[in-house]
Amino acid sequence: MPKIDNILAILWMLNSNDKITAKQISERLEMNIRTVYRYIDTLTTSGVPIISESGHNGGYSLLKNFIEAPLFFDFEEQTSLFHAAVFAEEAGYYGGEALNRAISKLSNYSNQEQKTKINQRLTSLEVISQLNSLTMEPILKEVEQAVTDGYAVNIRYLKNSKEQSTYRLIDPYRMIYWNKRWYVIGFCHLRNEIRSFRVDRIESIMQTENTFKQPENFSARDFFMENLLPTIEGKEGIIPLVINGDPWALDDICHHWFLGHYLQERTSNQVRFLLEKDMILTYVPHLLLPYGKSIQIIEPANLKQKLIEVLSEFIKFHQKG
């Protein structure tokens, strides 16, 4: 018998109402008793709840109703898992190799009719992404292990292209995937505060022997979004940004990850945001330029002048060439 058949045979024997000993399994399946013990260990490691009782009336048995649990996936569940694997691959999921092995198992243990239906469903979905995280995979795995085990890591981090990389000791609390990028949120010992780090800017990583405990009730999501999209309540210099334009352009602007957070009002041909003045004059011109003549700035008036300045600088730069 192949190994998988022997393991399944033992599983069904354990599901009987009576306890069964390793010796009885060995005799029925005609295998060495050491092999029985090894297969029992394999089942236990895989999460099968085997109850072991020693003594004269001892033996092995399964937790009641275990076999009645949904161990096998139906057609819709299988399709969803295959689709999830497609999304994970395009997102640059670092556990892609293990995920592919799991998907292969699903495929191998599906009958021909199931395979045909699943393939028909799979061809109906494609996810297009330009992300390539193969170079980040080893670092992502190291970070995930450190987060899980609660060990600090030394990283060599490049904050931006204008600065030299620096060494940081961080306690990694969580990993976050947002807007096609991976981040690690943790306590930075160099800055003595919680920071977020882009994983694609980590040049090297080494786990230390230093352990840490995460702050109670800490939300990496809340921390990340608050730093990315700070609230404007109680801040000075908050002014309205009002834009008229074609409905399709306004829809796109309202769904922008940054501007959409500060949306106050929307009509068929106008949107109104509340933002800090510095943000409007620094970041917004570059966000609005791609929309060309499909939009018109209503407020603030000096944003129009800022758009002209940005365009003029752009033209001058290319005229030099």
Domain membership of residue 169 as a residue range:
137-218
> 141 with 88, same domain?
no
Q: Residue range 182-209: average pLDDT?
A: 94
**CA within 13 Å, CB half, 32:** 3
274 has a pLDDT exceeding 90: yes
Regarding whether 86 and 142 lie in a shared domain, the answer is no
Query: Which domain CATH number covers 206?
Result: 2.30.30
In the predicted model, is pLDDT for residue 320 greater than 90? no
Q: In this structure, are 268 and 301 located in the same domain?
A: yes
Task: Look at residue 2 in the predicted model and tell me its pLDDT.
Answer: 59
The last residue of a domain, from among 62, 87, 104: 62
Question: Which helix (H) or strand (E) segment is 249 a member of?
Answer: helix 247-254
Per-state percent for the chain, helix, strand, coil, to nearest 5:
45, 25, 30
> Which residue is associated with the tokens 């995280």?
133
Q: Give the pLDDT of residue 130.
A: 60
The DSSP element (H or E) to which 119 belongs, if any, is helix 112-122
Question: Does residue 54 have a pLDDT over 70?
Answer: yes
Predicted local distance difference test score (pLDDT) of residue 72: 60
Query: Is residue 210 domain-resident?
Result: yes
70 within domain boundaries = no
Question: Is position 224 within any domain?
Answer: no
Task: Please tell me the predicted confidence (pLDDT) of residue 231.
Answer: 82
Cβ atoms 75, 118 nearer than 8 A: yes
pLDDT of 273 higher than 60:
yes
The span from the CA of 76 to the CA of 83, in Å, is 10
CA dihedral 100, 131, 282, 219 (to 10 degrees): 10
Report how far apart, in Å, the C-alpha atoms of 85 and of each of 77, 101, 120, 277 are. 12, 11, 16, 43
Confidence of residue 244 (pLDDT cuts 50, 70, 90): very high
| % residues pLDDT > 70 (the chain) | 92
CATH of the domain at 264: 3.30.70
The per-residue pLDDT for range 86-133, each reduced to its tens digit, is 888 777 788 878 888 877 777 766 667 777 777 777 777 777 766 555
Do 147 and 211 lie in one domain? The reply is yes
* CATH number of the domain to which 55 belongs: 1.10.10.10
Residue 79 has pLDDT above 60, yes or no: yes
- pLDDT confidence of residue 120: 78
Q: What is the domain count for the chain? A: 4
In a domain, 180, yes or no: yes
pLDDT at residue 222 greater than cutoff 60:
yes
